[in-house]
Amino acid sequence: MKIFRRLYDWVLHWADSPYGVWALFIIAFAEASFFPIPPDPLLIALVLGSRQKAFKFGAVCTLGSVTGAMLGYGIGHFAWYSPDGQFSSFANLFFNNIPGFTHELFASTKLLYEEWDFWVVFTAGFTPIPFKVFTIAAGAFHISIPMLILASTISRGARFFLFAWLIWKYGDPIRRFIDKQFNWLAIAFTVLLVGSFVLLKYLV
């Protein structure tokens, strides 16, 4: 865990750098395809340092994440399986080094994609579920690219702009609250949003 703490601190140190916005884009890009630390802490720190640029930072973070999802798709599509149909050595590098990226989780995503499609990407994009697992799986399972882009844009945009707005509106107290309760807040939001679409489907 020490290495991930060091990575977390390294991400945050960019908030005090003149390259903070570029770092935000690159970290959001990398996290959507291979990097283990999400861009949220850097986004929060940047907004706290310059609240008038909150929505610019949210947009940069969203753009980085959606383009990173395309890299994840490319990894899954071109590099995930060896010619004999087994996981490649490149794929095993991910399984062996990225927390939460397991063979079992990856295999289960195929069934999720077959049943839920758009909602799988949306949920992974907004909640703490490792987004990279689903972007890579989308490429490995040949999921529709336009659907991936749409779902990624909506879910990641909702997540990052919500963060930016909360910090812009409430400042440091809301940051401490989000740090403690984010997982539950994200899950509750997703349940409510998906539930509303399911209800609409049966009412219309």
Residue 156 belongs to domain spanning: 2-203
Residues 94, 187, 40, 67, Cα dihedral to 10°: 60
Per DSSP, the three-state class of 81 is strand
pLDDT more than 90, % of the chain: 35
pLDDT of residue 57: 96
pLDDT of residue 203: 46
Residues 6+ apart with CB under 8 A from 129: 123
Give yes or no for residue 159 having a pLDDT over 70: yes
**Terminal C-alpha separation, the chain:** 49
The H helix count followed by the E strand count for the chain is 10, 0
Give yes or no for residue 200 having a pLDDT over 50: no
87 pairs with which residues across the strands? 81
Cα 4–Cα 183–Cα 100 angle in degrees, nearest 5: 45
**CA–CA distance, 45 with 28 (Å, rounded to integer):** 14
pLDDT of residue 70: 96
120-to-51, 58, 113, 168, 179 alpha-carbon distances in Å: 32, 22, 6, 29, 24
| Arithmetic mean of pLDDT, 14-18 | 85
pTM score, whole prediction = 0.81
81 pairs with which residues across the strands? 87
The predicted-structure confidence for 121-154, as pLDDT tens digits, reads as follows 988 898 877 888 889 999 999 999 999 999 999 9
Handedness of CA 112, 117, 118, 119 (dihedral sign): negative
115-to-73, 105, 191, 199 alpha-carbon distances in Å: 19, 16, 17, 18
Domain count, the chain: 1
DSSP-assigned letters across all residues of 138-158: HHHTT--HHHHHHHHHHHHHH
| Mean predicted lDDT score pLDDT of the chain | 83
Helix, strand and coil percent figures for the chain, each rounded to 5:
80, 0, 20
**CA–CA distance, 66 with 29 (Å, rounded to integer):** 7
The predicted-structure confidence for 171-197, as pLDDT tens digits, reads as follows 777 767 766 776 676 666 666 655 655
Give yes or no for residue 105 having a pLDDT over 90: no
The predicted-structure confidence for 66-97, as pLDDT tens digits, reads as follows 999 999 999 999 989 988 888 899 888 888 87
